[in-house]
Amino acid sequence: MRQIVLLRGVNLGPSRRLAMGDLRTLLTSLGYDDARTLLQSGNVVLTTGKKPATLKAELEQHIAAGFGLETEVFVRTRDELADVVARNPLRGVAVNPSRYLVSFLSGEPEADRVRELATVAVAPEGLATSGREIYSWHPNGIRDSKLARLLAKERLGVSATARNWNTVTKLLALADA
């Protein structure tokens, strides 16, 4: 089964660096001969019969042991990622794919947290929560986005890693290649 692996918080600045070539070497040593990375931000597509939770735990352990890097791993199957793309609840609003984010969550946030987020969203930004994903639109960019700051673990109650729409659709294409 094709699975998409997203590493949280790697290669975003001078610390927490992880070369994708080194990550592919690690994955090959673990038996994932078809592992392919996308960009430098910890995006991997691979094939395995392992359950996503098992893959997550295995990779977190091996990345920590092999690179001394504690990072949370998020896993979605190819079909789950295809569903994320198909849902696209902000398709009529989010016109710039580099400013349209999908936050992949470690679990579904509690309903009261989702309601709270919906009430504090600041126009022209927007968001939609759907299962273990939050879609967010940042027309003026991420850096000064009030909404982006609201999507922190403290507010959500679950951890998250975000990818822009360009990356999400490229990961799906890579999974289908």
Q: Which domains does the chain have, with CATH numbers?
A: 2-79 (3.30.70.1280), 81-176 (3.30.70)
User: What is the rounded average pLDDT of the residues 66-95?
Assistant: 96
| Burial (CB count within 10 angstroms: exposed 0-12, middle 13-18, buried 19+), residue 147 | buried
For the question of whether the overall pTM of this predicted structure is more than 0.85, the answer is: yes
Beta-strand ranges (E) seen in the chain are: 2-7, 36-38, 43-47, 73-77, 100-105, 126-130, 133-137, 160-164
Quick: pLDDT tens for 146-173. 888 888 767 788 999 999 999 999 999 9
